[in-house]
Amino acid sequence: MVEEAKADALTTAEGGKVSSPESQAPARVLTATLADALSKVADPGAKAMLSVALSRTTLGFGPDPDTAKILAESEMHEEDCRLKGYQFSLENKDKQNGRDHDYRKKKLNHQSMMTAAVPAVAVAGIGGGLYLSVSGSSSIGNPVLVASFTVLSSLAGKLLSSKDKD
């Protein structure tokens, strides 16, 4: 009689209604057998583990309220940990993106300085070469003039070709 009461309590459908006696017969035998086997387990940890495992089956055999509470808390804790981990990974990505942005800005500033320095030196070389050529030191002025003009035209060619690629 006690076994039948346990089986009836364990085979309730959603909403707290007991299903018909015809459909309860196989479930009552199965859940009564499971409840009997579960009551024979001496270790409380193993009993709780079996209760949780059985609650995940389609037998309608649910865990006791304390086990259900612990199960719900552990699932909530797991989800909270996942959320915190995801938030930390997003923060790390934001920090890394900031560092990458700073690096690219510094690199661009360095390239801009080099791009400005090379033409300035080339123009100064052209001016110095012209001065030397005109003042009578053409053996020094002409090579300086040719070298400076070559650097300037090479730089102009690189700048024009890089604009075509963009």
Q: How many angstroms from the chain centroid is the CA of residue 52?
A: 32
Please check whether residue 132 lies inside any domain of the structure: yes
Say what the pLDDT of residue 161 is.
66
pLDDT band at 78; cut points 50, 70, 90: very high
Q: Is the pLDDT of residue 19 over 60?
A: no
pLDDT score recorded for residue 101: 94
Q: Are residues 126 and 152 in the same domain?
A: yes
157 and 86, same domain (yes or no): yes
Q: Same domain, yes or no, for 87 and 126?
A: yes
15 plus 48 within the same structural domain:
yes
62, 95, 112 — which closes off a domain?
A: 62
Domains held by the chain: number: 2
Least confident of 16-30, 58-72, 143-157: 16-30
Q: What is the pLDDT of residues 117-152, one digit of tens each?
A: 888 888 888 888 888 888 888 788 888 888 888 888
- In this prediction, residue 13 has a pLDDT band, given cuts at 50, 70 and 90, of very low
Statement to judge: residues 135 and 95 lie in one domain:
yes
Average pLDDT, the chain: 75
Q: Tell me, what's the pLDDT at 61?
A: 56
Burial class (CB in 10 A: 0-12, 13-18, 19+), 75: exposed
Does this model's pTM top 0.85? My answer is no
Q: Can you tell me whether residue 17 is helix, strand or coil?
A: coil
Same domain, 14 and 91: no
Highest mean pLDDT among 10-14, 36-40, 79-83, 106-110: 79-83
* 73 located within any domain: no
Are 54 and 100 in a shared domain? no
Tell me if 68 is assigned to some domain: no
91 and 47 inside one domain: no
In a domain, 69, yes or no: no
- Does residue 86 have a pLDDT over 80? yes
- DSSP, res 20: P
- C-alpha distances in angstroms, 17 versus 20, 22, 62, 117, 140? 9, 15, 15, 86, 108
User: Do 51 and 9 lie in a common domain?
Assistant: yes
- Alpha helix (H) residue ranges in the chain: 2-10, 21-39, 44-55, 65-135, 138-165
Q: Are 86 and 143 found together in one domain?
A: yes
Query: What is the reported pLDDT for 81?
Result: 95
Going by C-beta distance under 8 Å and a sequence separation of 6 or more, which residues neighbour residue 64?
Answer: 51
The per-residue b/e assignment along 83-119, b for 16 or more CB within 10 angstroms, e otherwise, is eeeeeeeeeeeeeeeeeeeeeeeeeeeeeeeeeeeee
Range of the domain at 136: 79-165
